[in-house]
Amino acid sequence: MSNEATNKVVNYYGKRDIRVEENPMPVPGEGQVLIKLAWCGICGTDLHEYTDGPILCPTAGTAHGITGEKLPFCLGHEFSGVISKVGPGVKGEWRKGDRAIVEPTISCFKCYACKHNFRNACSSLGFVGLSGYAVAGEGFLHKLPDNVSLQHGAMVEPLAVAMHAVQMSGATKGCTALVCGAGPIGCFVTKVLIAMGASKVIVSEPSGSRRKMATHAGAHHAISPREDDVVSKCRELTGGDDVGVDVSFECAGVEASLTAAIAALRPRGTCLDVAIWSTKPQIDMNALVLGEKTLRAVICYESKHKPAIETLSSGKISLDGQY
């Protein structure tokens, strides 16, 4: 098959069933561009869909609430690329050859969340990305500055997730924080906390290689939950048995991690869940109630791609040597 006529994609058929296939080449419609992908990250969400899904994807035979498409779906959403073709009616100054990233979330613009300007919580949220080419509306495009590579451009999406999470947590300059899980999102949350001036960032991660990544990301302390009592260690590092961290971030999707993230908080602290779950964890409500602690959750981001690009371009957050 000609590469000009077909589009190589990673199609998701269901749990533990993904296939690299040739699909028809997408054609940009009104107000859209065709992008040739350069880099696409594999998110933990993609892995969850493979091992335990469908979670965010519709089940077999069920149509997506916005596109109407059924399985198989193309996974992925952390991508950068170069504009290959500009469709009719594109009003912005987009040209063939422009380097760009895409806000990959598809939303309905009709539900309560969309009408109230947090379409990241749309009841019919969708994504796209692991393919050779993709179409996107110009309203979802962001140009990459010359000093941000296409490789780092693919990391703008998870950085946007981290920036949204830190904002929603209420973390402030000088705060203390626990980050549970040092995967890409946990490391980006760490980077954002350090950049905003957190006084102490503690990362809990069982993997030695990931703890090294967390340290490289700026963590003041990287501990193993298999070797240390995470809660006791957090209290020790923040002033004693009756203290704890101001904010905690659950980035692993593991019940023991969530339990520690709540228990390690000071009274009236906030735990923010960033992970997508494949299980239904038990939560010790008394641990929240007796300490007047807050448990919040976030999904994706809202209007964070532009500031994420600016943060990388300015050097406030660097990905050199890590991604």
Which residues face 18 on adjacent strands? 12
pLDDT at 242: 74
| pLDDT tier for residue 77 given thresholds of 50, 70 and 90 | confident
Q: Tell me the pLDDT tens digit for each residue of 232-256.
A: 999 999 987 778 999 999 999 999 9
Percentage helix, strand, coil for the chain under 3-state DSSP, each rounded to 5: 30, 25, 45
CB-based contact 55:278 (threshold 8 Å): yes
Going across the sheet that includes 176-180, the strands are: 221-223, 200-204, 176-180, 245-250, 265-273, 294-297
pLDDT at 323: 61
Q: With H, G, I as helix, E, B as strand and everything else as coil, classify residue 296.
A: strand
More confident position, 242 or 281:
281
0.85 surpassed by pTM? yes
Q: What's the mean per-residue pLDDT of the chain?
A: 92
Q: Is residue 161 within a helix (H) or strand (E), and if so which, with residue range? A: helix 156-169
pLDDT at 98: 97
| pLDDT tier for residue 74 given thresholds of 50, 70 and 90 | confident
| pLDDT tier for residue 297 given thresholds of 50, 70 and 90 | very high
Token couple for 235:
């209290």
d(CA 186, CA 294): 20
Surface-to-core class of residue 95, CB atoms within 10 Å of its CB (0-12 exposed, 13-18 middle, 19+ buried): exposed
In terms of phi and psi (left: phi > 0; alpha: psi -120 to 50; beta: otherwise), the region of 316 is alpha
Q: All domains of the chain, ordered by start, with CATH?
A: 6-154 (3.90.180.10), 158-297 (3.40.50.720)
Contacts of 152 (CB under 8 A, 6+ apart): 312, 319, 323
